[in-house]
Amino acid sequence: MPGHTAQAPGTSSLGAMTILDQEVPLMGPGSSGAALPFGAQVLSWAPEGETSVLWTSHSAILDGSAPIRGGIPVCLPWFGSGNDGTCHPSHGFARTAWWTRVDDPMPAGRSHSSHSTAFRLDHEPSNADDDEPFPHRLEALLRVDVTEDLVITLRVTNTDDHAFTFEEALHTYLRVGDVKDVTIDGLEGADYLDTTREPHQWRQQVGEVTLVGPTDRIYRSGCPLSVHDPRLRRTINIDKDGSANTVIWNPWVEGAAALSDLDDQEWQEFVCMETANVRDDAITLKPGEDHEMVLILHADTMA
Ligand code: TA6
């Protein structure tokens, strides 16, 4: 991929990729987790005494050759195959690039916590690559803060000499007791694009969201959400800033069978609640401009 180290720093092209050896442990007051420079992906996060809030497949590919199925993959600078359906790899190059770990990346005045880390990715398009799907220079910065909450800030800056438009998503895999028993509040009345079948249909959400089959919806909503999980007896609250879309995905049994990095019954253990700006809500930046999207996860035990 132009402009990226396709390989972890410090590993030979023949050496086995020990991707988890690069893991950055995060310990905060009230919770802990871990993140990887590979894809700037948060892999785990759990409040003290709680089951992990994030889910990862037992069959996740961990050698750096493919995206990791779980945690919080970073989709950038396009979502899926992009607005025109021609972009590859799925969900953009950031998800499988080696980001560089950086310290104290935010401007002065931001609270700096020892429970945080940050990763940076600079994209330099290859001039030689005529079918480069994103021929623009950008800088991405992802910061992870662990307190009693998990706070992720994704800042994208246009470092080129012309404007460009990009899509982004924090593709969060939330662990649940059984996806069939989950209810989701906060999207009542929101318009959503149902992409489970062709042609994609616009619909409006009536009441709480429940999942009863393959689910793949792009909601137009910046509202906070609550994922109620009676099996694990907890509610995961999702707050966000700078995000016009929430994507909800679960492949169900039908879709799971087609995914080699998902065991047949694992689809019941997660729901993807993705904090995003995609399709008609993609972001346009002029040279030098930046945009920040923030995700805040908080777990509450059900009464
Ligand atoms: O979550 C929305 C979505 O675009 C789905 O259509 C499905 O493709 C999912 O992402 C997973 O994508 P991946 O490339 O990780 O298999």
Contact between 167 and 279 (Cβ < 8 Å): yes
Rounded mean pLDDT of the chain?
A: 91
Task: Say how many Å lie between the CA of residue 192 and the centre of ligand 1.
Answer: 16
pLDDT at res. 12: 40
* Residues of the chain above pLDDT 70, percent: 89
Q: Atom 15 (ligand 1): residue with closest C-alpha?
A: 69
Pocket lining: 247 vs ligand 1, CB cutoff 6 Å:
yes
pLDDT at res. 2: 39
Domain-located, residue 3: no
Instruction: Pick the more confident residue, 139 or 129.
Output: 139
Pocket lining: 67 vs ligand 1, CB cutoff 6 Å:
yes
Domain-located, residue 302: no
Domain-located, residue 299: no
218-267 confidence digits (pLDDT tens): 999 999 999 999 999 999 999 999 999 999 999 999 999 999 999 989 99
pTM over 0.85, yes/no: yes
pLDDT at res. 49: 87
Pocket lining: 272 vs ligand 1, CB cutoff 6 Å:
yes
202 residue type, one letter = W
Domain-located, residue 122: yes
5-35 confidence digits (pLDDT tens): 445 554 444 445 568 888 999 999 999 999 9
Domain-located, residue 258: yes
pLDDT at res. 21: 87
Contact between 24 and 101 (Cβ < 8 Å): yes
Domain-located, residue 61: yes
As given in the structure block, the two tokens for residue 34 are: 């871990």
Domain-located, residue 80: yes
Query: Which range of residues forms the domain containing residue 159?
Result: 14-294
At residue 178 the predicted structure's pLDDT band, cuts being 50, 70 and 90, is: very high
pLDDT at res. 9: 53
Burial per residue of 93-119, b for 16 or more beta-carbon CB atoms within 10 angstroms, e otherwise: bbbbbbbebeeebbeeeeeeeebbbbb
Task: Say how many Å lie between the CA of residue 166 and the centre of ligand 1.
Answer: 17
At residue 113 the predicted structure's pLDDT band, cuts being 50, 70 and 90, is: very low
Indicate the number of domains in the chain: 1
CATH code (residue 160): 2.70.98.10
Pocket lining: 91 vs ligand 1, CB cutoff 6 Å:
yes
Pocket lining: 80 vs ligand 1, CB cutoff 6 Å:
yes
Domain-located, residue 129: yes
Kindly give the number of the ligand 1 atom that is closest to the alpha carbon of 259: 16
43-85 confidence digits (pLDDT tens): 999 999 898 999 999 999 999 999 999 999 999 999 999 999 9
Q: What is the largest CA-CA distance in the chain?
A: 59
Euclidean distance between CA atoms 189 and 89, whole angstroms: 33
